[in-house]
Amino acid sequence: MSAGDETTVADADSEELLALREAVRDFLAARSDEAAVREVMIGERGYDEKVWSQMAEQLGLQSLVLPEAHGGDDAGFVALSVVLEEMGRALLPAPFFSSVVLAATALVAAGDDEAAGRLLPGIAAGTTLATLAAPGPDGAWHTGEGALAVAASPADGGGLVLDGTAGIVLDGATADEILLVVAAPEGPTLVSVPGDASGLTRTALRTLDPTRRFASLTLAQTPATVIGQPGAAGPVLAQVLDVATAALAAEQVGGARACLETATAYAKDRVQFGRQIGSFQAVKHKLADMLARVQLADAAAREAAAVLDGADPEGDPGVASAVAHIVASEAYMSVAAENIQVHGGIGFTWEHPAHLYFRRAKSSQLLFGGPNAYHERLLARVGI
């Protein structure tokens, strides 16, 4: 959905990562171009099931970073960040982030071999769609006092039943398995609920970004299975946030870079008053500022990926991920808005993809609580 070259990014990739990037980019260009994205985003499920299956069968994207013991390739977070950057560049509408990043990370972090063996092979194969619900009704991702919107209580025949509402759940309407952090007698506890469980009502939400689906889930005496140790979901959620915010930063960099490339190409082609608009000082300044923001976000996202992969033993994953999330969120919002400005009137129209990137930028900025939440998260990570 954008024009331009990839010289800067390619120079920073190893041969293996460059091959992965090219494979994903070629696949998305052939299977998920702008026309396909527009068709899918108004469909019932919000993603193309055939493309999703091909991602797993032909490229192995869903299994790329999952543990080898459960059908994965254990390729590492840097490889995942390359894939997510290309997905963000193409605005791919798919449940990849919810299944592979959120749910799978939670399953691994929980250390529950039975649950991992039950769910991860299906996630790796692309046959099981899973998600992790934000604990709070307003999309808050913490387990502090009063934050948990769903409560667990003992069931008559053993096990737990859930009551409450999970208000903002990524791909919650289509997930086969839903993970939730709930208020249990032992404390915050990670549980799983099948998508067809009794007492579960799923309501699709109309949101700003049509390429990313959310739902509200209401649970009424819904049976659930505990994952990991009861009362131990706090550290699990913290680990998920580190991985998820770094992953989102990579995706945001891809989207921001697409906006920069599109704006640059338009500035070279559009002629006003007998001159390319890219020769006007005001447009030059915009493009230079966009480039600086994209490069800074790319550096922050790459650092976070390296730290999560253990390449920087002195790095703090929590700090690196929080910084990447802040920088990439601000960069994507700014660059997406400036892309519309460079295009002028056409950039505001439904027919032009610029507004789709702006919508994704805003959706991504708010995904884990918005600016207030992610600045507080960084302060907490550095002990303030």
pLDDT in tens, 176-232: 999 999 999 999 999 999 999 999 999 999 999 999 999 999 999 999 999 999 999
Residue 5 pLDDT: 45
| Top mean-pLDDT range of 271-275, 293-297, 341-345, 377-381 | 293-297
Residue the block writes with tokens 């998305």: 28
Residue 2 lies in a domain: no
Mean pLDDT estimate for the chain: 92
Residues 90 and 157 in one domain: no
Given a cut of 80, whether residue 273 has pLDDT beyond it is no
Same domain? For 102 and 151 the reply is: no
Amino acid found at 131: T
pLDDT of residue 116: 97
Q: Give the rounded distance of the alpha carbon of 47 from its chain centre.
A: 15
Q: What's the full length of the chain, in residues? A: 384
**CATH code at position 171:** 2.40.110.10
Structural tokens at position 283: 């447009």
| Mean of pLDDT values over 154-160 | 86
Contact call for residues 123 and 130 (beta carbons, < 8 A): yes
* 286 to 87, 279, 295, 335, 349: CA distances (angstroms): 25, 12, 14, 9, 21
pLDDT band at 275 (very low <50, low <70, confident <90, very high): confident
Same domain for 71 and 206: no
Long-range contacts of 193-197 (CB under 8 A, 24+ apart): 193/162, 193/219, 193/222, 193/223, 193/224, 193/225, 197/222, 197/223, 197/224
pLDDT at 3 over 60: no
Q: Of the residues 97, 125, 153, which one is the last residue of a structural domain?
A: 125
Overall average pLDDT of the 128-136 stretch: 94
Taking a C-beta distance cutoff of 8 angstroms, is the pair 351, 124 a contact? no
Residue 266 has pLDDT above 60, yes or no: yes
Looking at the fold, whether 142 and 243 belong to one and the same domain comes out as no
Whether residues 244 and 176 share a domain: the answer is no
pLDDT for 159 beyond 80: yes
Find the CATH number of the domain harbouring 336.
Answer: 1.20.140.10
The tens digit of pLDDT for each residue in 33-48 reads 999 999 999 999 999 9
**What integer pLDDT is reported at residue 276 of this predicted model?**
76
Question: For residue 42, what is the domain's CATH number?
Answer: 1.10.540.10
Structure confidence at residue 4 (pLDDT) = 44
Neighbours of 47 (CB within 10 A): 21
Q: Clarify whether residues 242 and 350 are in a common domain.
A: yes
Q: Determine which of 12-16, 105-109, 223-227, 235-239 has the lowest per-residue pLDDT on average.
A: 12-16
For residue 181, the cross-strand partners are 190
* Burial (Cβ within 10 Å: 0-12, 13-18, ≥19) of residue 34: middle
Residue 1 clears pLDDT 60, i.e. is over it:
no
SS3 164: strand
pLDDT of residue 312: 81
Using pLDDT thresholds of 50, 70 and 90, give the confidence band for residue 6.
very low
Extract long-range pairs of 75-81: CB within 8 Å, 24+ residues apart. 76/309, 77/243, 77/246, 77/247, 77/305, 77/308, 77/309, 78/17, 78/302, 78/305, 78/306, 78/309, 78/311, 79/17, 79/20, 80/247, 80/250, 80/305, 81/246, 81/247, 81/250, 81/301, 81/302, 81/305
* Residues 71 and 197 occupy one common structural domain: no
* Rounded Cα gap, residues 98 and 305, in angstroms: 18
CA atoms of 98 and 71, how far apart (whole Å): 18
Q: 116 and 91 share a domain? A: yes
pLDDT at position 271 is 64
> Does 78 fall in a domain?
yes
Q: Which residue, of 231, 255, 274, is where some domain finishes?
A: 231
User: Could you give the count of Cα atoms lying within 13 Å of 242 in the half-sphere of its Cβ?
Assistant: 22
Residue 170 belongs to what domain range?
130-231
Together in a domain, 219 and 244: no
What confidence score (pLDDT) does residue 8 get?
54
Q: Is residue 231 a contact partner of residue 189, using CB atoms and an 8 Å limit?
A: yes
d(CA 184, CA 233): 10
When pLDDT is cut at 50, 70 and 90, the band that residue 383 belongs to is: confident
Asked whether 66 and 74 are in contact (CB, 8 A), the reply is yes
Chosen domain end from 169, 200, 231: 231
On whether the CB atoms of residues 110 and 275 are closer than 8 A, the answer is no
The total of structural domains in the chain comes to 3
Range of lowest pLDDT (43-47, 137-141, 326-330): 137-141
